[in-house]
């Protein structure tokens, strides 16, 4: 029985993908795990991998085609199988005899078409589908996967419903591609399946090997109190779906600059790394700012660990790789991790797990000469910190006017989660840390 290869959702937000290049050609022997093609998603160039073995019977789309997720791109079957043809789709289920006759009249390739679970199930709803002339050699048949043909265990269906996952975008590893529990779990951990509706991610990001001692989910869901619900409802009426307010602080960076000058040259530690580490430590002290808004569940998810997203400009736009457990990493580890993530983000080589599941974001436009700015919150996170440029400025210091290196930072807060004073206290802690960087080794 031939199995159809579909365009998989290779990122959480992917709805279509451009098939950049076929890595396997018709007639090639395929082993599970073989890279069939390269696919450009909305975020990166990824590999489309074979979920079944056999022989590649043919491509359904040429390289360069943009294909919606869950639609067919190729067939894999046994050696000697013909490509399942579109002719089969014209068969009406309640006229089996006529179907037989139709197949006989059609091209020989079609009458030799292997039985396919996908196509066979498709027949039910495809009574009026136009018959297409079939040529297996052409390899450009407009066959698409039918959602009705989806095989999933009852448990997998239940889990997908609970988690709001789109089963059509998950590859099954059970018999005949049945989606089973482990496939759902893999999709949850990898964040590789688009979600339907509720954004209730239950994904605990993979933890680094060291210093991780906590069990449990890594967060605490705090039920919304009545006053929080009222605050949320009123503020949303006032200003957009995410009622954002902004807090700006002016930070003296002289001591950070002194400290940085004393650090060894390798790995290179940037001002941004020091800011990231300080943000992570400050968030650990102010968990109310390290949280997700989950209004549809009536909760705020307060994360125990800090998973810091760092906005990186790439040619096509913007991506936010995540430094996991940033609060537990040393400054040196943060510097190494951020350099690696940024480099791979620019090369578009990040896996989805590396740019999802963050609890707070930092955006830095200082290197582009921006004094200060406001950043837009990345929901369901409740806050994002905008970093301006570090610049010498005349300020009153110790009673005299001095020239000192200063930095302006602006915190955008989702008011449904973070109230003004709460955000201000977080910012206050952060400013103190930056002005007394010894706090980093506390």
Partner 1 sequence: MAVITYRDALNQALREEMHHDTSVFLMGEEVAVYQGAYKVSRGLLDEFGPMRVVDTPITELGFAGLGVGAAMVGLKPVIEFMTWNFALLAIDQIVNSAAKMRYMSGGQVPMSIVFRGPGGSALQLGAQHSQSFESWYAHIPGLKVVMPATPADAKGLLKAAIRDPDPVVFIEGEMLYNTKGEVPDGEHIVPIGKADIKRAGRDVTIICHSKTVPIALKAAEQLAADDVDAEVIDLRTIRPLDVPTILASVAKTHRCVVAEEGWHFCGIGAQVVDEIQKAIFDDLDAPVLRVTGADVPMPYNKHLEKASKVDVAKIIAAVNTVCYRS
**Catalytic annotation, residues:** 415
State in angstroms the smallest separation of the CB of 199 from partner 1.
23
Using the rule CB under 8 A, give the single segment among 29-37, 150-158, 191-199, 351-359 that binds partner 1: 150-158
Q: How far is the CB of 186 from partner 1 (least distance, A)?
A: 13
The rounded distance, in Å, linking the Cα atoms of 183 and 171 is: 7
Q: Which is nearer to partner 1, 78 or 155 (CB)?
A: 155
Nearer to partner 1, 173 or 374 (CB): 173
Using the rule CB under 8 A, give the single segment among 53-61, 91-99, 176-184, 201-209 that binds partner 1. 176-184
CA distance 317 to 327: 28
Q: Which stretch binds partner 1 (CB under 8 A): 26-34, 120-128, 177-185, 388-396?
A: 177-185
* Residue among 248, 368, 260 at smallest CA distance from 311: 368
Residue 191 CB contacts under 8 Å (≥ 6 apart), including other chains: 12, 201, 203, 352, 353, 356, 357
Residues in region 362-421 near partner 1 by CB under 8 A: none
3-state secondary structure the chain: CCEEEECCCCCCCCCEEEEEEECCCCCCEECCCCEEEEEECCCCEEEEECCCCEEEEEECCCCCCEEECCCEEEEEECCCCCCCCHHHHHCCCCCHHHHHHHHHHCCHHHHCCCCCHHHHHHHHHCCCCCCCCCCCCCCCCCCCCCHHHCCECHHHHHHHHHHCECHHHCCCCCHHHCECHHHHHHHHHHCCCCECCCCCCCCCCCCCCCCCCCCCCCEEEEECCHHHHHHHHHHHHHCCCCCEEEEEEEEECHHHHHHHHHCCCCCCCCHHHHHHHHHHHHHHHCHHHCEEEEHHHCEEEEECCCCEEECEEECCEEECCEECCHHHCCHHHHHHHHHHHHHHHHCCCCCHHHCCCCCEEEEECHHHCCCCCCCCCCCCECEEEEECCCEEEEEEECCEEEEEEEEEEEEEEECCCCCHHHHHHHHHHHHHHHHCHHHHHC
> Near partner 1 by CB under 8 A, which window of 151-159, 257-265, 406-414, 426-434?
151-159
User: Does 425 sit near partner 1 (CB under 8 A)?
Assistant: no
Please state the closest distance from residue 180 (CB atom) to partner 1, in A: 5
Of 181 and 428, CB closest to partner 1 = 181
How far apart are CB 29 and partner 1 at their closest, in Å?
20
Q: How far is the CB of 297 from partner 1 (least distance, A)?
A: 21
Q: Which of 156, 291, 312, 341 binds partner 1 (CB under 8 A)?
A: 156
Closest distance between partner 1 and the C-beta of residue 196, in Å?
17
The residue within the footprint of partner 1, chosen from 27, 32, 147, 158 (CB under 8 A), is: 158
Q: Are 279 and 360 in contact (CB under 8 A)?
A: yes
Site for partner 1 in 181-210 (CB under 8 A): 181-182
Q: Which is nearer to partner 1, 174 or 295 (CB)?
A: 174
Task: Give the residue, chosen from 92, 121, 153, 336, that forms a contact with partner 1 under the rule CB under 8 A.
Answer: 153
Size of the site for partner 1 (CB under 8 A): 12
What is the spatial distance between Cα 237 and Cα 235, in angstroms, rounded to a whole number? Answer: 5
Interface residue with partner 1 among 18, 151, 157, 328 (CB under 8 A) is 157
State which residue, 182 or 268, has the beta carbon closest to partner 1.
182
The interface region with partner 1, picked from 49-57, 171-179, 196-204, 267-275 by CB under 8 A, is: 171-179
In whole angstroms, the minimum distance from the beta carbon of 157 to partner 1 comes to: 7
Instruction: Please select the residue that binds partner 1; options are 78, 98, 101, 155, rule is CB under 8 A.
Output: 155
Q: Tell whether residue 173 is a contact of partner 1 (CB under 8 A).
A: yes
**Of 107 and 180, which CB lies nearer to partner 1 in the complex structure?**
180
180 binds partner 1 (CB under 8 A): yes
Q: Which stretch binds partner 1 (CB under 8 A): 149-157, 199-207, 230-238, 414-422?
A: 149-157
Binding test (CB under 8 A) with partner 1, winner from 33, 80, 130, 154 = 154
Q: Which residues bind partner 1 (CB under 8 A)?
A: 153-158, 173-175, 180-182
């Amino acid at each position: 029985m031939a199995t159809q290869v579909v365009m998989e959702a290779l990122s959480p937000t992917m709805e279509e993908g451009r098939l950049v290049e076929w890595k396997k050609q018709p007639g090639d022997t395929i082993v599970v795990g073989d890279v069939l093609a390269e696919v450009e998603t909305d975020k990166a160039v990824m590999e489309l991998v074979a979920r079944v073995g056999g022989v590649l019977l043919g491509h359904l789309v040429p390289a360069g085609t943009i294909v919606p997720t869950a639609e067919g791109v190729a067939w894999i079957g046994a050696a000697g199988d013909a490509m399942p043809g579109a002719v089969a789709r014209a068969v009406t289920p309640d006229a089996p005899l006529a179907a037989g006759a139709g197949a006989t009249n059609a091209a020989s390739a079609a009458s030799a078409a292997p039985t396919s679970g996908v196509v066979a199930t498709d027949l039910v709803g495809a009574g009026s589908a136009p018959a297409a002339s079939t040529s297996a050699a052409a390899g450009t048949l407009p066959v698409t996967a039918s959602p009705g043909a989806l095989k999933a265990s009852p448990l997998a269906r239940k889990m997908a419903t609970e988690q709001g996952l789109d089963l059509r975008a998950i590859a099954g590893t059970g018999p005949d591609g049945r989606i089973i529990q482990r496939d759902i779990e893999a999709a949850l951990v990898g964040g590789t399946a688009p979600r339907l509706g509720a954004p209730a991610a239950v994904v605990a990001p993979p933890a680094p090997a060291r210093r991780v001692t906590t069990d449990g989910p890594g967060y605490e869901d705090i039920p919304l109190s009545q006053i929080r619900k009222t605050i949320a409802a009123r503020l949303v009426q006032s200003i957009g779906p995410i009622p954002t307010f902004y807090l700006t602080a002016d930070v003296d960076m002289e001591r950070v600059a002194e400290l940085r000058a004393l650090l060894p040259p390798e790995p290179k530690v940037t001002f941004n790394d020091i800011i990231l580490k300080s943000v992570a430590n400050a968030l650990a002290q102010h968990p109310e700012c390290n949280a997700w808004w989950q209004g549809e569940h009536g909760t705020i998810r307060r994360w125990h660990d800090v998973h810091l997203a760092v906005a990186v400009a790439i040619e096509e736009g913007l991506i936010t790789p995540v430094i996991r457990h940033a609060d537990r990493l040393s400054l040196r580890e943060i510097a190494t991790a951020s350099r690696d993530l940024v480099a791979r983000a620019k090369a578009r080589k990040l896996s989805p797990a590396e740019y999802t599941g963050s609890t707070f974001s930092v955006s830095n436009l200082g290197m582009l000469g921006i004094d200060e700015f406001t950043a837009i919150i990345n929901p369901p996170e409740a806050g994002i910190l905008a970093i301006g440029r570090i610049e010498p400025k005349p300020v009153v210091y110790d009673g005299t006017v001095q020239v000192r290196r200063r930095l302006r930072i602006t915190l955008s807060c989702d008011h449904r989660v973070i109230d003004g004073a709460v955000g201000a206290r977080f910012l206050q802690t952060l400013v103190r840390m930056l002005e007394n960087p010894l706090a980093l080794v506390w």
